Structure 1
Amino acid sequence: MIPFEKDSIGSKTDRVVIVHPDMARLSQSEIEHRLEEATGLALAIGLEASSARYFSVRNPKPATLLGSGQVDQIKVIMAQEDANILIVDGSLSAIQQRNLEEKLDVKVMDRTGLILEIFGARAATAEGRLQVELAHLDYQAGRLVRSWTHLERQRGGFGFLGGPGETQIESDRRMIRDRMAKLRNDLAHLRKTRSLHRSRRQKAPWPVIALVGYTNAGKSTLFNRLTGADVFAEDLLFATLDPTMREFSLPGYDKAILSDTVGFVSDLPTQLVAAFRATLEEVTAADIIVHVRDISHSATEAQAADVRAILIDLGVDIEAEDAPLVIEAWNKIDLIEADQDQARLLEGRLPDNVKRISAQTGEGVDALVQLISQSLSEGHETETVTLPISDGKRLAWLHENGRILETEQKAGEMIMDVKMSSRNWGRFQAL
């Protein structure tokens, strides 16, 4: 068995074949989208696929997932392409992965392993690296059989380390469990710190807007345009992993905070959803969620459905009454002029919560900002507030964040009718 080594992936000598096991009876266009996406995922870590195709799988085989005839076909393809890596665009069990590697005599990665490789290569912050390592260990915990050919080997021990008769694989699993426990503890501390920062922001007068969307939908390009930042933005899947927050100008407000988050993808590994939950909780605390969609993509509706499903998995049910308001930014309109099928998506009257934009050229971005500002002021409540005239801090806060409809001064007190959002009323009470 050939264990993966970090330095061995993405080298110039690697040749890759991608296969998609179609078990869901997908349409031709859906299959093409999956193969295109898998090719993009491979490219994100420097692996250029020389061939990508699908196989219909009616009865998944416990040993190899694919049928024996299909495995033989893949072996011929690997030989023709002189390929040394097979990427299976689906989930493989540890046994299936091991058996395929033995039958084909090449490295085999499934979709989860590929995405974990990308995240491992891209994580830049300490928290991001901890999250990726935790997800990778969780994934590898059940796959140690791939890396060891000496399972019969035992080692003695003393004290609490490596007790008598402990096999090598049991020892490694224990070490992985211990490391995962430490990572979870470290992430819990970071999560607490992030929660404190979030609670302080909620007490502050500035609204928080979170960008979410499918990977490569253009979130970071929009983020850079609105904030003047230089966050890494390339035509690559998962160009952004670590969340970034910046100030930006919003009409009617002193300022606002914009948050750029990791992109979503269909069949996002459960290990990653769990590991990145603390980071993505920034979305749940936002005043408004801007769902950035690549409207030029042929699978834009399927991508939008995947984003909504992951948001629900994170505890953000956009249909719930107390959920943050969601605005859709239909991005990359500059790419659809020659595509009549996509142009039809833009015909007719748009829903009130949708704006067509091009984050690349700036078209429609001002209208999107106006919609965000207007949406923040909708559903405001009017209450009467009585404060001492000497309480300059809270009086100034109300002037900055609400509309003062009427004022009356009486016996050293200021009586005001103030109109604000329910969230701002909550912030005011917390001052």
Structure 2
Amino acid sequence: MSVRNLNLLHPRDQIIMIINRIYKKGLTTTSGGNLSIMDESGDMWVTPSGVDKGSLKPEDIMCVKADGTIVGPHKPSMEYPFHKAIYVERPDIKSVVHAHPPALVAFSIVRQIPNTNVIPQVKYVCGPIGYAKYFIPGSNELGNSISDQFKKGFDSVIMENHGAVVGGKDIIKAYERFETLEFACRTLINSKIIGEPKFLTEEQIYSFNNQIPTDHPKMADVEYTSDEKEIRQQIKGMVRRACDQGLMMSSYGTISVRWKGNDFLITPTDATRWDIQAKDIVQIKEGKCEAGKVPSRSTWLHQKIYEMHPEINAIILTQPEYLMAYGVVHKKLDVRTIPESWIFLQDMENVPFGSHFTGNETIPGKISTANPGIIIENDSVLMTGGSLLQAFDRLEVAEFSAKSLVMGTSLGDFAPMNDEEIDELRRAFF
């Protein structure tokens, strides 16, 4: 069932949907982590203790009723007391996610709080991060340590030598916060391997949020032709593929495809990416969008690229963790690693944060056949193509290249292809 029908899903089914996603993305182990939902009657639904997270079924989910009665075939998670303590302190929170993903654990064992000013989206989704002192799992002391942080207003908390816990108004928002926080930690760790991360000021983040258009012109009549419907399906399928491949997160990622002339279709804003449906896609025609929908915040940038580059028919804007490491340290990605990387990308420039703001034509001016992708520092990666598949393929190649370079840093000095080898590739493939 679609997450847009979340209110029609029983809490136990919601938990199964999200724990499956967490486990398949490698964000928890068979035995680690726990999820809960507080329903409208004051009953808490929570994952069981000692049951394989990779094979949980709805009937395995336990219920701790408002009067303390426990219902279900297992024991509830031994850490359910801290979930309960959070709900007591924060009635606005209706779901809690706790697990031990590698990057968040790394921060917890060095006892550091990740700086969410690394990327605006991270700051927007996660907010400031709390820090809970260590106490033995399942203890009242741990519950008090964590709930005190939530009482202070934090929605995301690093648990010292343990992991992290986040809350949300529903389980989807809690999961998005959890996934985004782990992405931020991975990006920061990878960036430390290749350099030193640069952070945004509060003024830069304010400027970013302030320049995003909030009122798009609306079209009076909408035409849904066969080819337009086909593009919707292409975008829907590729968004899900990008999420599965780790190239896009629940909380961030935009895909657009040219329809006819300079008209195009684009993903909406503030939508859970892995659940996007064909009907959610927004048509942009003559600079106007469908009524009742809010297109991506980057719609202006896509429009300008299509207008300036008739050879481009698809654009992807997203945040893959290894490419973003280069974006965070403001370091150029050397695509001369292997022949495929250079053939697909040729070059990949960095542009400063702010180059993607509405009205700034820096990125459309730099995009070319020999420079199909751009790293926007402290923000995202933009990739273009003559087709959606080509843009996606280039994005995958770029991320794999970045990953190889990050990994290779610990092995020694790089030996990229030399100018003679590049010229040979140019003669053979262009």
State the TM bucket, normalised to the shorter chain. under 0.3
TM-score normalised to the size of structure 1?
0.26
- TM-score, normalization: structure 2? 0.26
Higher Rg: 1
